[in-house]
A and B are shown apart, each in its own frame.
Chain A
Amino acid sequence: MPKKILVIDDEPDVLIFLGTLLRKNGYDVCEAEDGVEGLKKVIDEKPDLVCLDLLMPEKTGIKMYREMRKDEELKKVPVIMVTGFSTSPIGYMDFKKFIHHRSIPAPEGYIEKPVNKDELLKAIKQVLGE
């Protein structure tokens, strides 16, 4: 049974790209365009892993991540952050706050945009323990 991965990103291009990439590599993929939809799908689809964009409208990736981690069930779902935060001046501040928030554990993995296909697949395999 293929593992299910939830991809959350506000950019349709990224969704198409990541969806194509992960399906090609034998994963079951579901998609969400923002944090609200993402949170709903985490509950409904019960994915094995979440690929989360940090900067999004509606609920940002950070907010969604915090909520996931507060929930007893959802906090078990591993998350890989996909972001361009390290160089974006706006995202950088949010990320700093996020990193320094001691009460919330760090995500299981993160990779920077632009997404390197091999890096992403490697990180997924590592998190899923394959």
Chain B
Amino acid sequence: MFVPTPPKDNLSSNLLEVRGLTVNFETVDRSVEVLRDVSIRVGKEEVVGVVGESGSGKSTLAQAIIGVLDIPPARITGGIVLFQGKEILPSSDGKANFRGKGINMIFQEPLTSLNPVYSVHDQMEEAVNIAEPKMEKKEKEALIRNSLREVMIRDVDGVLNVYPHQLSGGMRQRVSIAMVLVQKPNLLILDEPTTGLDLIVQRRIIGLIMSLKKEILSSILLITHDLEVAAYMCDRVYVMYAGKVVESGSMKDVLKKPLHPYTTMLKNSVPEGYVNEGTLKVSSGAPPDLRHLPSGCAFHPRCQFANDVCRSKIPELKAQKDGREVACWLYE
């Protein structure tokens, strides 16, 4: 009897797949599309970046995946999210609520994500209880200490007994990483993990995340506005503008030869040279107000290549060579 072999498509190697996700924020009198048909995928042991400026929808994307989006005002109007082949969104109540079960998230400001009225030890214990409910108390204790040592905290006893506000920004972020570590997530979402930290601390946290990734974590989805951080950490990158993915590809290729004019502008905006080495090549204008999106391609008012098609029709994300994608009429 002939048994057809199951098609070996990309799906099986994808840890996370978001297909056509559309999210609206609704108020009494209007509805604003914050994410417009966003599709991304994260492979196993891959570090994927989502880069964009404020208002691009990158944080909403992360919140939708992990299910902490406030519904309402947000409403998921379309698209599905697959994690390890299973559909986690849409779910019956409209939320994914997937925390602690394979996906974990580290937020930008650890002071708001850590509970101010519990000591570090108590919060760590809670995380361990969720991850390893059957473990004995002694083992749990050992796991907590081990995980704090893992994130390069030297004075473990000192840190365990204090409250989050008594720690410095870098230490807080280390604690929130340690809490995530005990749960051994398959996918870690980092939402601006180092924004607001000092340079040396930022670099240490990034170094820490990357070294832990090698040992324990399998995949990372990094949400950032900082192209340099993304360039340092990511294998692949998605560039978002006004709620849409406008370009994707391997980080190296995108940096070397950006296809979308917005990516080019983003790259040129980062000062690299010394003084008197010329001005930065950047066009005028600002990211659009999502309530009043320009017609056609949202970037066209700032784009030097804009023509009539760009003003009237929204470009679709089209595959290019080397596994890259770009949503721009220049590449039709």
Does B associate with A? no
B interface with A by C-beta (< 8 Å) = none
